[in-house]
A and B are shown apart, each in its own frame.
Chain A
Amino acid sequence: DSGVTQTPKHLITATGQRVTLRCSPRSGDLSVYWYQQSLDQGLQFLIQYYNGEERAKGNILERFSAQQFPDLHSELNLSSLELGDSALYFCASSVAGRNTDTQYFGPGTRLTVL
């Protein structure tokens, strides 16, 4: 158990809908990362937050947004969902958000868009 929790574990929704994925980092970790893992794209970095502020941005679509709250939990919002958004979404956390800090991954949320 990495100490990172993600909810829900599974999510099934329809195209055009909006969903919110939630992540609680390890106790003491200030930085949160979001990744998408799909069948054809591998593990893709989406976005990173550090202590409530956006720190780095990756291949995140404009339909997707995220935030980190004062209690350090984070939410990833996916809107106008398309079939191609079906994937595993992982959250990771690290102590201070440096690349040399170990990232601890949560168990993921499996999103299925029908």
Chain B
Amino acid sequence: GESVGLHLPTLSVQEGDNSIINCAYSNSASDYFIWYKQESGKGPQFIIDIRSNMDKRQGQRVTVLLNKTVKHLSLQIAATQPGDSAVYFCAEGKTSYDKVIFGPGTSLSVIP
């Protein structure tokens, strides 16, 4: 399939371990944050989101943490599986009709 081919930060994780993907966002006025997963040859896929009035949100095997003080967002994936291998993007925006800005992405590689 097609791949982006960016020189992305890469995280290699053993299958079964937990993964932590980090993201620094740029705009202190952003109040809505999203994580997307992009598998090779596919478009980005929504994983989880969080609003600025929260500092943690959990989904199925994923947790997003938000630290507004240092403008930092992280995605934790529990018990990482080979199917989690993908590029992960954080995105920031405002809860108004404005554009969402995507970060550069991190490539996650799961070692079986």
Q: Which of A62-70, A71-79, A105-113 contacts B (4 or more CB under 8 A)?
A: A105-113
Count residues of A near B (Cβ-Cβ below 8 Å): 31
With A42-B89, A42-B104, A100-B32 given, name 16 new contacts (CB 8 A).
Answer: A4-B43, A35-B102, A37-B4, A39-B4, A40-B6, A42-B6, A43-B105, A45-B100, A48-B99, A90-B44, A99-B95, A99-B96, A103-B100, A107-B41, A107-B42, A108-B2
Instruction: Report whether over half of chain A's contact residues are helix, strand or loop; otherwise say mixed.
Output: strand
The reply to whether the CB of A114 lies closer than 8 angstroms to some CB of chain B is: no
CB pair A43 B42 closer than 8 Å? no
Instruction: Identify which of A2, A37, A40, A55 contacts B97 (C-beta below 8 A).
Output: A55
Residues on B close to A: CB < 8 A? 2, 4-6, 32, 41-46, 49, 51, 89, 93-105
CB pair A103 B95 closer than 8 Å? no
**Residue ID in chain B nearest A37 by CB atoms:** B4
Closest 7 CB pairs of A and B: A105-B43, A43-B102, A99-B93, A102-B46, A45-B99, A56-B99, A42-B104
Contacts of B94 in A (CB 8 A): 99
Contacts of A100 in B (CB 8 A): 32, 49, 51, 95
CB pair B89 A43 closer than 8 Å? yes
**Residue ID in chain A nearest B93 by CB atoms:** A99
Residues on A close to B: CB < 8 A? 2, 4, 35, 37, 39-40, 42-45, 48, 50, 55-58, 88, 90, 92, 97-100, 102-108, 110
Interface centre among B32, B41, B97 (most CB of A within 10 A): B97
Given contacts A43-B102, A45-B99, A99-B93, contact A104 B46 (CB under 8 A): yes
Contacts of B2 in A (CB 8 A): 88, 108, 110
The minimal Cβ–Cβ distance linking A44 to chain B, given in whole angstroms, is 8
What would 12 A/B residue contacts be, using CB atoms closer than 8 Å?
A42-B89, A43-B102, A45-B99, A48-B99, A56-B98, A58-B99, A99-B94, A99-B100, A102-B46, A103-B46, A105-B42, A108-B43
